[in-house]
Amino acid sequence: MADAAMNVEPRRGSTVSADTRRCPTCGAHYPPDFLVCPKDATSLEAPTGADADPLIGEVLAGSYKIIELLGSGGMGRVYVAQHLRIPRRFAVKIMHDQLAAHAEAVARFEREAQAVARITNDHVIDIVDVVRVQGRAALITELLEGEELGLYLDRAGKLPLPQAIAICRQVCRGLAAAHAVKVVHRDLKPSNLFVMTRDDGSLHVKILDFGVAKLVDGTELTGSGMLLGTPAFMAPEQALGARDVDHRADIYALGAVLYQSLTGQLPFPDDDPARTLARLLTEDPRRPRDIDSRIPAGVEALIQKAMAREPEARPKSALEFDRLLAAFDEPGRSERVPSLPHVSRATLQAMDTMAAPISSDLADDATKKARRARPAALLLAVITSLLAGVAALTCAVVSLRTLLHVTAFNELQTILLALLAALAASFALLGSLRVLVTRWRSAPAIERLGEGLRNAVLWYLVPLGLLALAARVYAALAVIPYTLPAAREEYLRIFDLVLVMIPTLLGGVMMVLGLRRARRT
């Protein structure tokens, strides 16, 4: 599993000045002229600076002077740099020494710059320059003030619905811009989403860390079968190591982000990455409404649609996902909330309780549709099984009369025909119930099942009605001359057989296809 590149943005309270003294007891930092800690009178350590970090004070490309360390991650360290000619600060991400010697790591590091440079959108981190320092690659990016969504969720647990919808809609816009220039993120997760607060109090989200992004029209830097990304937010096709992973993998990941934001839990909570990968390939996540019943059924269905196993069952694009989310957005409320880093868990619960019901007709329709999906599929399963029994019985009776010229059935034949009808009905019912039970958590799978069963009923009844009408017309017009009564009678018998066989075959095929599609969704 590849280690995702470290985020390049600062976290409040995490900066370390180049010229400070540290208290070894309480860990506080003080100006260099302090000798003891004012809190506990402990002697302070020597000032940190160039001796502690040789990059502090370094000037990059003649313009960016490194002045503070922000943090360290898997790929490198992040600093604050002051521009020497304009009053502006930037973030600088510099590779670790041990990684700078690996060509693939360097290529991935530089690919992040190439990927982000293609994207022009206010919801994607802006890379200003790519330079080298002491033989290592360095990315110069805008300096952001705020907090990663992942850190916030770790502290607060989850988000109220309006804020979660607002954040995901902004991410959709950033993803749409990336996908428009053939860039697939492939590692979207809360820790790669940076939440800031505008001057008017509204939220603003930036997508970070394109270190494992895929340039759709470029060359892959990883071998076949190598997994890149985070298992908890990885699409099934990405977990299988497919080389044709496209923008729909990002839509799956965003669905997982929305899942965690609203429930406070990962879709597949497991400490073992291998078990997580196995579960996302074979199981459906726990229903969000089972965790928090206040989540609207329509939002739950939308999350499950985004996290469908088959890419074809997900929203076709980030813009479509944004449009679907818009039905549950509350204009003027969803983005205007207190700054996330300062909202306590109790405040969030109060905000969630006071949230006004969503009045959008689209939201109401989506919620009603999601609530009806399971009862409708169950009813269709019963109807389809009854039709299957009737169709099997009719086919058997007509076949015996047409091919064997049986005009009356004895008791044994009647019992056998009844058993045949019961077996056909049971087979259809058990097939439907199997999908209903195994995919009950997934609204998209249940909708696919309902659609397949509905098509099976229509493809049985409609051709049956049309053929029956044709048979009536045939008999009324007496297409076969009365001078050939025997031939006419034979044609009518064959027509009766075709009348029931074709609709039964069509209905059976549509039912099998519907069951298979529902299992894969």
pLDDT digit string, tens, across residues 74-92:
677 889 999 999 999 999 9
**164 has pLDDT over 50:** yes
- Do 258 and 306 touch, CB atoms closer than 8 A? yes
Structure confidence at residue 396 as a pLDDT band (50, 70, 90): confident
DSSP for residue 16: E
- Residue 214: its pLDDT value, please? 66
Return the CATH architecture of domain 147-359: Orthogonal Bundle (1.10)
More confident of the two residues 186 and 461? 186
**426 has pLDDT over 70:** yes
What are phi and psi for residue 41, nearest 5 degrees? 60, 20
**Domain pair 53-142 / 147-359, same fold:** no
* Window from 61-65, 91-95, 160-164, 424-428 with minimum mean pLDDT: 424-428
Nearest residue to 92 (alpha-carbon basis) of 63, 123, 52? 63
More confident of the two residues 516 and 251? 251
Q: How far apart are CA 513 and CA 504, in angstroms?
A: 14
**6 has pLDDT over 50:** no
- Residue 1: its pLDDT value, please? 37
**276 has pLDDT over 50:** yes
- Residue 384: its pLDDT value, please? 81
1 contacts: CB under 8 Å, gap ≥ 6: 227, 231, 273
53-142, which class in CATH? alpha beta
Report pLDDT digits (tens) over 347-388. Answer: 444 434 333 344 456 666 767 777 777 888 888 888 888 888
Nearest residue to 1 (alpha-carbon basis) of 177, 225, 208? 225
Structure confidence at residue 4 as a pLDDT band (50, 70, 90): very low
Pick the catalytic residue from 187, 322, 329, 496.
187
* Window from 32-36, 59-63, 272-276 with minimum mean pLDDT: 32-36
Told to judge if 322 belongs to the known catalytic residues of this protein, a careful annotator would answer: no
- Residue 483: its pLDDT value, please? 47
SS3 call for 10: coil
**481 has pLDDT over 70:** no
Angstrom distances, CA of residue 229 to CA of 5, 7, 206, 298: 10, 14, 19, 29
Q: How far apart are CA 471 and CA 171, in angstroms?
A: 59
Report pLDDT digits (tens) over 298-337. Answer: 899 999 999 998 899 899 999 999 999 998 886 544 444 4
DSSP of 286-352, one letter per residue?
PPHHHH-TTS-HHHHHHHHHHT-SSGGGS-SSHHHHHHHHHTT--TTTSSB---GGG--HHHHHHHH
**3-class DSSP string for 438-489:** HCCCCHHHHHHHHHHHHHHHHHHHHHHHHHHHHHHHHHHHCCCCCCCHHHHH
Structure confidence at residue 45 as a pLDDT band (50, 70, 90): low
Report pLDDT digits (tens) over 185-234. Answer: 888 999 999 999 888 888 899 998 886 666 655 444 444 445 567 889 99
Domain positions in the chain: 53-142, 147-359, 371-520
